[in-house]
Structures are given as structure tokens and as C-alpha cells.
Copies of this chain bind each other. A is one copy, B any other.
Amino acid sequence: MKAIVTVMLKDGVLDPQGKAIGHALNNLGFPQVGEVRAGKVIELDLAESDPKAARAAAEAMAEKLLANTVIESFKIEIS
């Protein structure tokens, strides 16, 4: 199975990378861009064949390594 883990900074945590992207886009001729948030996405190939087990494993991985849960939240899609 494939697990896609998306890691974003939590609301309220300053996101200087997103801010920089937003300013750059405004300066490049995209005045319609407001707030921008930047995050990471990690695609994992898992040997599990059960979607529930795959989700549980991906959650454990996100908590242990992929996300810093103090300042980041994560979301998991299984396919």
C-alpha cells in the first residue's frame, strides 16, 4: 500500500518559508495571493496489505520521525 503523509506547521506557528513564497509571488505579478503555508509531503511504499494496519504504521512513523508534533500537524492518506 501507499501512504501519503502531509506535514504542515500548526495554525499560529509562524511560517517564514510560506511568507517568503507569498511575497515572491506578489512581486512576480500575482497580487491575488494572500496567506501561504508551506509544508512537506512524504510518500511511503508500505509492505502492509491491510489499509488499517498501513494507516496505523504511518501514524506511528509520523509521530516518531516525520512530524514534530509540538509545532506540526500531520494528515495521512492511504491508497
Closest CB in chain B relative to A43 CB, distance in Å: 4
Q: By the criterion of a CB under 8 Å from any partner CB, how many residues of chain A are at the interface?
A: 33
Which B residues are in CB contact (< 8 Å) with A64?
A: 28
A 7-41 contacts with B by CB, 8 A = 8, 18, 21-22, 24-25, 28, 30-41
> Could you list 23 A-B pairs, sorted by A, with CB under 8 Å?
A8-B41, A8-B43, A18-B42, A18-B43, A21-B66, A22-B44, A24-B65, A25-B61, A31-B47, A32-B46, A32-B48, A33-B44, A33-B47, A33-B61, A36-B43, A36-B45, A38-B40, A38-B41, A38-B43, A39-B41, A39-B43, A40-B41, A41-B41
